Amino acid sequence: MVMAALAWNLKSWLGLSITEAGPPVAREKRQSDKRRLVRMDFRTFCQSLIQVPAQILNSGRRLIYRLLTWTPSVEILFRVHECVSRPLRH
């Protein structure tokens, strides 16, 4: 039960971490992505954002991640990565 609660919290945290800054068109798109991710069923979340087919290569002292498919949810995955990888502001 605790693991399910942690996984559900991870889904909600990722959805809430999407920032809504930028021009009006981009802001509207990010708001809809944020709403979609927060309201998403957990099974759909796992299938669209967690279980993405990828190839991981170790080449020249670096890791290369290759996504093997493209779906609209991968765009949300990149947006979440962009928002989460920023440094925290005080």
Using CA atoms, how far apart are residues 57 and 65, in angstroms rounded to an integer?
A: 7
Q: What are the tens digits of pLDDT across the range 22-51?
A: 889 889 988 998 999 889 888 888 888 888
Task: List the alpha helices (DSSP H) in the chain.
Answer: 2-16, 24-39, 42-45, 72-84
List the domain boundaries for the chain.
2-84
Computed over every residue of the chain, the mean pLDDT equals 87
Q: For residues 10 and 90, what is the distance between their CA atoms, to the nearest angstrom?
A: 23
Average confidence (pLDDT) over 61-74: 90
Residue 11 confidence class, pLDDT cut points 50, 70, 90 = confident
Measured CA to CA, the distance from residue 66 to residue 20 in angstroms comes to 28
Q: What is the pLDDT of residue 22?
A: 81
Q: How confident is the model at residue 56 (pLDDT cuts 50, 70, 90)?
A: very high
